[in-house]
């Protein structure tokens, strides 16, 4: 299977601190990859480096086999690398409808038919958004805001979605619905790299798992290999 995204010996950090040290891993096209690991392992830093918010000091980041190191965050986003940061990305003062409409108009090279089709798809994926189209996004529940953030990301026509702990602070039932949405995005052909603390859901959904510790990969394999393995020691399992 072709690799959608590859990190090849990437080093990155803040000031004098190196957080990622020769980090290498791949995200196959069309897969869901889970990036797991204890607090402070460098998971968010990895997503920041892929999206261009943080510079890779050494090593290469490849999208479809081509280096994107020199591209700005904006250029990476317009090539389809979309990050949903911890804490979501919605316009709280705008309605659900307007949030979706803006996202659909940000997608490049698409026409109104495509926009209508994709909008209908996300509203079918997340019926709760459908019921609340006129509600201001800031008054949605945390889970509903994440559904909106996922929908907005989907409308931006992503190649790779980077998800940073979308389940943070949410009830298990809501997390299950969100992960169902993530599965459907994968079924639509989106490649997904997700950082997650909710292991049960992450392992159920992921095709490939990576465990990070101290800025390096300490386990790479299928979720089944990871269940019960010592790499999981030290996690709060959900
Ligand atoms: P968590 O699960 O707690 O979010 P993480 O695996 O996502 O952890 P990072 O947020 O990538 O870890 O942080 C890795 C290390 O980098 C930590 O030691 C953190 O203190 C440090 N760090 C993160 N952001 C900054 C920053 N802006 N400036 C300095 N150090 C930072």
Give per-residue pLDDT as tens, 48-67: 999 999 999 999 999 999 99
What does the pLDDT average to over 67-95? 89
Q: For atom 11 of ligand 1, which residue has the closest CA?
A: 42
Helices (H), the chain: 43-51, 73-78, 96-106, 112-125, 127-131, 142-155, 172-187, 199-205, 223-226
231 in contact with ligand 1, CB cutoff 6 A: no
Q: 10 Å Cβ neighbour count for 128?
A: 16
Mean pLDDT of the chain: 90
Cβ of 14 less than 6 Å from ligand 1: yes
Using the mean position of ligand 1's atoms as its centre, give its distance from the Cα of residue 81 in Å. 21
Confidence of residue 210 (pLDDT cuts 50, 70, 90): very high
Over range 174-199, report the average pLDDT. Answer: 90
187/131 Cα distance (integer angstroms)? 24
What is the model's pLDDT at position 207? Answer: 95
Q: What is the per-residue pLDDT for 34?
A: 96
pTM equals: 0.91
**What pLDDT is stored for residue 236 in this prediction?**
38
Taking the centre of ligand 1 as the mean of its atom positions, its distance from the CA of residue 19, in whole angstroms, is: 8
């Amino acid at each position: 299977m072709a690799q959608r995204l590859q990190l090849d010996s990437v080093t990155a950090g803040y000031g004098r601190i190196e957080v990622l040290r020769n980090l290498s891993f791949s995200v196959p096209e069309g897969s869901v990859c889970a990036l797991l690991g204890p607090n402070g392992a460098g998971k968010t830093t990895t997503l920041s480096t892929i999206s261009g918010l943080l510079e890779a000091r050494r090593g290469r980041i490849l999208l479809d086999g081509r280096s994107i190191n020199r591209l700005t965050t904006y250029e990476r986003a317009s090539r389809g690398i979309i990050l949903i940061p911890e804490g979501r990305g919605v316009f709280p003062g705008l309605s659900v409808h307007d949030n979706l409409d803006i996202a659909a108009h940000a997608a490049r090279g698409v026409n109104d038919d495509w926009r209508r089709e994709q909008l209908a798809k996300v509203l079918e994926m997340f019926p709760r958004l459908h019921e609340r189209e006129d509600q201001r996004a800031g008054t949605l529940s945390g889970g509903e805001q994440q559904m909106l953030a996922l929908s907005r990301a989907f409308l931006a026509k992503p190649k790779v979605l980077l998800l940073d702990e979308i389940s943070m602070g949410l009830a298990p039932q809501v997390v299950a619905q969100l992960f169902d949405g993530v599965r459907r995005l994968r079924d639509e052909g989106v490649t997904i790299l997700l950082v997650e603390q909710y292991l049960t859901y992450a392992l159920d959904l992921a095709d490939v798992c990576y465990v990070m510790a101290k800025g390096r990969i300490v386990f790479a394999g299928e979720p089944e290999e990871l269940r019960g393995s010592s790499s999981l020691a030290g996690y709060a399992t959900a």
